[in-house]
Amino acid sequence: MDTSSPPPVVDAHLDLAFNALLNGRDLTRTVDEIRATELRAREQSMVSLPDLSRAGVAVVCATLFVEPATVWNAAYMNNMTARTRSRVYSTPQEAEKLALEQLELYQRWHDDGHARIITDRATLEEHLRLWPTDLKLGLIVLMESADPIVKPDYLERWHRRGLRMISLAWGQSRYAGGTGSPGGLSAEGRELLQGMRELGIIHDVSHLAEEAFWEGLEVGHHALCATHSNARSLLPTPQNDSPNLPPNRHLSDAMIDAIGRENGVIGVNLINAFLDARWRIGQPVGTNPSVHLGQQARAQTEYLAGRIGWDKVGVGSDIDAGAGGEETPLDLQRASDYPNLARLAPESHQEAVLGGNWLRFFARTLP
């Protein structure tokens, strides 16, 4: 890689295909072009391939994320639009179909020259060699909730398609307890995790219920990380209040320490509700506390680094997860604001946190 170029940024969690297909957005256009077409007051477009590239983002963990027909959050379900409800699943086969549609979009971007799919160390190295010149976005495919894998026997075919990372659950899945759904691994979950270990697929523990987390450590894995999770200790549930996010969505100190011992990396989630426990999703503008990268988000990175080291903390923004700038820090309103991520860490650790830690992790854990 050209050492005179800016250090590459890595965002370990963006729902790019979900964002594009749910909203009918062409993410090969600029954010300004998309916004001018949509004219939305809320849930505005925040990312696109050209904007991420211009902001110095070299690699993204691009998700295959499909929503179940029922989830842990009743209020969330009540607020789902007809557009959203048209793209949910009730059966494994429906989940598989939706996930394959997203994978086909990533492959189309790759084939048309808009992005590069990274599947192993060799393609990662080649991508980083070319990136300073062409600024093309690199994609590592991550499945968020394993429900699209109809049964563990289908894992190998997903691996052949380029899948390199899996989180077993979002809410409750057929494989494990998840957000708002306490519980351990199912028998299928254990079988799937064993298959992931044999194929060298990375285990992303984001959204995993704590019981399933510890059982997963007993089963074993090829490599472990948390692409977009924050420290539970900094997000206490306000007294006499019902939180937007169940406490088990966040990492306990014991979980953080275990990820550190496993040489994993934790990507800080940059959605406001993951940064300030007082934040309420969907509230009118001005009624929530102000959230800033250099304040609440930096507090998360410093806390995580204090437990497991600055070499094991990165970014997993999740900023295109269905909300717009109204749900993200004031200094992260669109992809062009990615240079402000430097506020997450002291200057001596910025290059590592913004990309270097994830790149070292993938250079070690990809096939």
Q: Could you report the average pLDDT of every consecutive run of 10 residues in the chain (367 residues)? A: 70 97 95 94 92 98 92 52 67 97 98 98 98 97 98 98 98 95 97 98 98 98 98 84 81 98 98 93 84 98 98 96 85 96 98 98 98
pTM of the complete model = 0.95
Q: Are strands 313-315 and 266-268 parallel, antiparallel or unpaired?
A: parallel
Residue 3 pLDDT:
45
Backbone angles phi, psi at 363, to 5 degrees: -65, -25
Q: How many Cα atoms sit within 13 Å of 128 on the Cβ side? A: 21
The confidence score (pLDDT) of residue 153 equals: 97
Give the residue from 78, 103, 91, 76 showing the smallest Cα distance to 18: 103
pLDDT at 268: 98
Q: Which residues contact 182 (CB under 8 A, 6 or more apart)?
A: 209, 210, 211, 248
Q: Which residue has the tokens 């749900």?
A: 327
- Token digits of residue 32: 């300004």
